[in-house]
Structure 1
Amino acid sequence: MPALIDSITGSRVFGFVARTVLTSMFWLSGIAKIADFNTGVAEMAHFGLEPAMLFNIATAATQLVGSALIIANRWTWLGAGMLAVFTALTIPIAHNFWAMQEPIRTIEFYVVMEHITVIGALMVVAWKSAKVPVAPAH
């Protein structure tokens, strides 16, 4: 059974699907910000990001380019870094639970924990895509 699992998880198709699923929250959001541009601009303005139009464009570009780099498995470290930094920046901008009242405070706290988990997943993608052999731990 381990050989079967290794052959599945080691395949190019599995890698492509895994990278696509991991980045889906980003590329779907980027597409939405372009497809419904005015709503994306309103979202940026809601969070105090001005000029909202430029922030919407920059956000969509970051999400789409970062996702594309990861999915294509080219400059994966850069795409993962872009999306990790983007995700980290959303915490103080949109999910500042420490400044909120209950019950939204607890809900936003869990959203932040999910964001940290996504950052960890992006770190794993960058690590596993590295072409340099990693020295064994002693």
Structure 2
Amino acid sequence: MTPAPIKAMLESRALLLLGRLVLTFMFWSSGLVKLTDFAGGVAEMSHFGLEPGWLFNALTIIVQLGGSLLIIVNRGAWLGAGALAVFTLLTIPIAHPFWTMSGQEGMHEMLVVLEHITVIGGLILAAILGQRTARR
């Protein structure tokens, strides 16, 4: 049985909003950086072989900010979570190919991939929770 104060917190709309903000933090903060330092974002895309860099940076901004917003406001959270999950999955072979590395570098990139997979799991739960709590 869940203690009453914990149950009240878990049923709180404020805690649900905080959870959505925190879950999407890595996406919306990255999107804002790429938006405010567009040239830096273009350079990052080019570094990973994504050309034209300006187009990939613009698309990344749209996915990161748009997907985050959909989850945060719980309007089409399934779409935002799906877009961010696919985006996160695609970053693995592009930016974190640990299987091509050895030593500490390979280990570090493998840990980043494991974190990415964990975030994808959180996004799946956000889509499910969004569906269950959608304002009708």
TM-score (norm 2): 0.94
| Cα-to-partner distance string for 1:2-37 (whole Å, 9 max, x where unaligned) | 221111111111111110011000000000001011
Give the 3-state SS of the residue equivalent to 2:103 in structure 1.
Answer: coil
What residue ranges of structure 1 are gaps of 5+ in the alignment? 133-138
What residue ranges of structure 2 are gaps of 5+ in the alignment? none
> What corresponds to 2:38 in structure 1?
37
Cα distance in 2, alignment partners of residues 8 and 66 from structure 1: 26
How big is the alpha-carbon RMSD for the aligned residues of Structure 1 and Structure 2? 1.2
Deviation at 1:90, TM superposition (A): 0.2
Cα distance in 1, alignment partners of residues 3 and 72 from structure 2: 26
Residues 1:71 and 2:76 are matched in the alignment? no
> What corresponds to 2:123 in structure 1?
122
| Cα-to-partner distance string for 1:87-123 (whole Å, 9 max, x where unaligned) | 0000000000001132200000000000000000000
Number of aligned residues: 132
Cα distance in 2, alignment partners of residues 13 and 103 from structure 1: 41
TM-score (norm 1): 0.92
The aligned runs of 1:15-94 (5 Å cut-off) are 15-94=16-95
Give the 3-state SS of the residue equivalent to 2:49 in structure 1.
Answer: coil
Cα distance in 2, alignment partners of residues 131 and 27 from structure 1: 23
Cα distance in 1, alignment partners of residues 75 and 130 from structure 2: 9
Amino acid at match of 2:125: V
Deviation at 1:73, TM superposition (A): 0.8
> What corresponds to 1:135 in structure 2?
none
Amino acid at match of 2:56: F
Deviation at 1:131, TM superposition (A): 3.5
